[in-house]
Structure 1
Amino acid sequence: MLPSRVLILMCYQCVLFLKLRNLLWATSKHDVYLMQNYSVMHWSSLLRRGKEVLNVAKPIIPTLQKHSGLVHPVSRVQISTMTVKENLMVAGGFHGELICKNLNQSGVAFCSKISTDDNAITNAVDVFRNPSGSLRVIAANNDSQVRVLDAENFASLGCFKYDWSVNNASVSPDGKLLAVLGDSTEGLIADANTGKVTGNLKGHLDYSFASAWHPNGQILATGNQDTTCRLWDIRNLSQSIAVLKGRMGAIRALRFTSDGRFLAMAEPADFVHIFDSQSGYTQSQEIDIFGEIAGVSFSPDTEALFVGVADQTYGSLLEFTRKHYYQYLDCMI
């Protein structure tokens, strides 16, 4: 059921800020992308080495020119959040920057400051396909707005304004619904195409920072400053169906496995919790490590959990492998 061993794969340092999170993504069991200072690195567990795929310390000039006037070269970007999906790497910065790079191409396809607000940190980014199959990029910013871009030409498709700073936004697996969380005790469910609010999430006691959709699209997990993760049945939002408790800090990152069996829940430092959905989230494992947590990610095959530790001395990438119990072998002994 649960991970069985830990490997320290590589050491890295990262200047950690209060809202730094989601700086780690696994695209396979052997391919992990993570921040190392001002670089996004690709770590190969097969080759046992890392390779720089994006350097944000130098001025970045996009190679794709058709951006509907949004092109603004950026440099020395302090990355605040990141995602890697559909061969597209998307990173957000502390001054409203958005950077998009196709992993199959050289150079950066798009970069710009999407907000000029004085406190315009890009808190969350996501990549998704809408119901028609078109690839989209979404960014949630501290200026209370969620922006949607076309991932082909990076033209702006919409800008949704809310009443408070948006700390997290994520799109349902079918591309129809948008979870919007931020500096409010309430969360929102909105239409992913229009941004129109269709439901409210009431129950958390403080501000929210993380969300994750179950692969079936019916369950949404939300992480909050009140040290809890709440699970919501999207078909009935009158109250949460479960409350999962952390140990000390806010819930900063949430991830489901691709089969929906496990949910990983990370605190800002020291603790990662794994819950078994088949037990109704009653069975869990607590991973106690040392250091600030920069992100968590399951491999797509569900066989590995990666945890990034951002610490000037103990910075590392940890790999936990899933342990299987072959009970059918017992009868053969």
Structure 2
Amino acid sequence: MAMYLDNDLEFMLEGYIDMLEFDDDEDDNDPFEVIDQQQERYDFDFEGGDDMGRQRSDTTASEARNGKDIQGIPWERLSFTRDQYREMRLKQYKNYENLFQSRVQLEKECKQVEKGSGFYDFQYNTRHVKSSIVHFQLRNLLWATTKHDVYMMQNYSVMHWSSLRQRSKEVLNVAGQIAPTKRSRGSSVQPVSRVQVSTMAVKDNLMVAGGFQGELICKYLNQPGVVFSTKVTNDENAITNAVEIYQTSNGSTHLMTANNDCLVRAFDTENFTLLSQFPFSWSVNSTSVSPNGKLLAVLGDSVDCLIADSKSGKVIGNLKGHLDYSFASAWHPDGHILATGNQDTTCRLWDVRNLSESFAVLKGRMGAIRGVKFSADGRFMAMAEPADFVHIHDARADYCKAQEIDLFGEIAGMSFSPDTEAFFVSTADRTYGSLLEFSRRHHYQYTDCFL
């Protein structure tokens, strides 16, 4: 994978994104800078936790229904409309590619999807918490543990946001030295410091964060301090691209790391000992273990995606069809369907009972598919582009119906709540970075109101 990082923890890639310039007599700067300058005239400073400032910056569902932009962008004060800005951004956005191949045939493969469905309704947007990104290809930095609780990266802090209290709280600060208070038997503990978190996962009270220099940090959310820290590799190109907390076939909880040094590592979560490591011939960008704990999907700097035995690492299947490198994968809860997200701007769906070809190809609007998630009930599959668009597909409708969430800004992560009642998207735009919350829409029968 490519490697880009600047000093203030936000990615910079020349030519990756063109923030558009409009012909305007007053100012020919980036239009978001114009918005920012105008807004500074009357907005309170909400960064410091000022309630009045936060409320003025935030957007509620009722305000959105009355015409306010869900991100709080004051289009009415600009010399261009939202539709005009969207049209130009679609034309000028430059998708990052590692491999340059013709995509004429790929377009023909893509499933025709009916957009316009409303599975999740906008609920709230807060700019009180802003996600940050340290690597432009890694966007798995948001996790919901309930429909009210979300964890995300904000510079050197893991932040918790409560939608009930509408308050944020720092859970872990990784700017200084990190070391566990107790050493687990058999684990290779190593203090780490000033960690630039590239990926994270939260499940069953355990939070795992991977770093830009191969760091791995584990913390129980209900305990102070961290329970484990180490550097899984001292390789010069050591980025931890993905971490996963999963159940093995015998019911144990393990965690897995995928690194740029071409190794996949599995740890137990009792003593955090290294159990196994599997070598591959290219940098591994994403791994995901099937719900029954037996199969392992391995994706990375290759057009092929692999299916391996999760215990031995032996490759048992090769998925062919993508045209570029892959950075996201997810299993349907039934264990039969695997989704893979790729820089060729598509998500492919595979049935592991027939790996000869993908049974569906879903396309985004602008760029690579950098995030893929299934809801816990298997009803929905969400796929996120690097910026501006998240698509929620209805698995029950053979993925032919979708809701398109249209916003502006780099997408740092997305997450369904475990009960599927909420869906969250975080953006990392310098001006309008925020956390957007959506609530699941239910269609009840008329007679239900009498029960």
Shorter-chain TM band: over 0.9
Give the Å deviation of 1:15.
Answer: 4.5
Residue 105 (structure 1) shift: 1.5
Return 5+ residue gaps in structure 2 as ranges: 1-117
The secondary structure found in structure 1 opposite 2:177 is coil
Q: Is the 8 A contact 1:14 1:312 kept in 2?
A: no
Compute the displacement of 1:64 (Å): 3.1
Pair 1:207-2:325 in alignment: yes
- Give the deviation of 1:329 after TM superposition: 5.0
- Residues 192-203 of structure 1 aligned to structure 2 (within 5 Å): 192-203=310-321
Q: Deviations over 1:21-75 (max 9, x none)?
A: 1100001001110111110011111111011111110100112312536221111
5 Å-filtered alignment, 1:155-166, equals 155-166=273-284
In structure 2, the partner of 1:184 is 302
- Partner AA of 1:245 in structure 2: K
Correspondence for 1:30 among 139, 148, 158 = 148
Q: Which has the larger radius of gyration?
A: 2
How much has 1:216 moved relative to structure 2?
0.5
User: CA offsets, 1:123-175, max 9 Å, x none?
Assistant: 00000111111110100001110000011001110010001000000111111
Of 154, 177, 184, the match for 1:66: 184
Pick closer, same or farther for the CA change 1:189–1:51 going to 2, 3 Å.
same
- Report the equivalent of 1:102: 220
Matched, 1:8 2:125: yes
Preserved contact between residue 11 and residue 314 of structure 1 (Cα < 8 Å): no
Q: Which residue of 2 aligns with 1:142?
A: 260
SS at the partner of 1:193? Answer: coil
Identity %: 66
Normalised by the length of structure 2, the TM-score is: 0.72
User: Secondary structure at the residue paired with 1:100?
Assistant: strand
Kindly state the Cα deviation for residue 13 of structure 1 after the two structures are TM-superposed. 5.0
Tell me which residue corresponds to 2:250. Answer: 132
In structure 2, how many angstroms separate the alpha carbons of the residues matched to 1:37 and 1:22? 14
Kept in 2: contact 1:225–1:251 (CA 8 A): yes
The count of residues paired between Structure 1 and Structure 2 equals 332
What is the CA–CA distance in structure 2 between the aligned matches of 1:152 and 1:331, rounded to whole Å?
Answer: 48
**Higher helix fraction: Structure 1 or Structure 2?**
2
Deviation at 1:247, TM superposition (A): 1.0
Partner of residue 293, structure 1: 411
1:325 aligns with 2:443: yes
> In the aligned structure 2, how far is the partner of 1:83 from the partner of 1:330?
38
User: Which amino acid letter does the alignment assign opposite residue 323 of structure 1?
Assistant: R
Deviation of the 1:268 alpha carbon: 0.5
Q: Report whether the alignment pairs 1:307 with 2:439.
A: no
C-alpha separation in 2, matches of 1:320 and 1:233: 30
- The TM-score, its normalising length taken from structure 1, stands at 0.97
Contact 2:389 2:404 in 1 (8 A): yes
Deviation at 1:325, TM superposition (A): 2.1
RMSD: 1.5
Contact 1:19 1:80 (8 Å CA) reproduced: no
Runs of 4+ residues over 6 Å off in structure 1: none
Q: Give the Å deviation of 1:11.
A: 3.1
Task: Answer yes or no: is the 8 Å Cα contact 1:13–1:312 preserved in 2.
Answer: no
Name the SS for the 1:28 alignment partner.
Answer: coil
Tell me, in whole angstroms, the C-alpha distance in 2 between the residues paired with 1:132 and 1:299: 26
Distance 1:69 1:83, change over 3 A: closer
Q: Residues 13 and 196 of structure 1: is their aligned pair in 2 closer, same or farther, counting only changes over 3 Å?
A: closer
2:448, 2:232 → 1: CA distance? Answer: 59
- Preserved contact between residue 40 and residue 52 of structure 1 (Cα < 8 Å): yes
Q: Matched residues in 1 for 2:226 and 2:341: separation?
A: 32
Name 2:12's counterpart in structure 1: none
Rounded to whole Å, the distance in 2 between the matches of 1:99 and 1:157 is: 17
Q: CA deviation at 1:3?
A: 1.2
Compared with structure 1, are the counterparts of its residues 6 and 290 closer, same or farther at alpha carbon in structure 2 (3 Å cutoff)? Answer: farther
SS of aligned partner of 2:382 = strand
1:234 matched to 2:234? The reply is no
Q: Which has the higher strand share?
A: 1
Contact 1:141–1:166 (Cα < 8 Å) also in 2: yes
Report Cα offsets for 1:93-141 as digits up to 9, x if no partner: 1111111111121110111110111111000000011111111010000
- Quote the residue 2:136 is aligned against: 18
For residues 292-320 of structure 1, the C-alpha deviation after alignment (integer angstroms, 9 at most, x for no partner) is 00000001111111001112211101001
Q: Does the aligned pair in 2 maintain the 1:96–1:113 contact within 8 Å? A: yes
Equivalent position SS for 1:50: strand
CA–CA distance in 2 between the matches of 1:245 and 1:160?
A: 31
- Find 2:173's aligned residue among 55, 65, 69: 55
Gaps of 5+ in 1: none
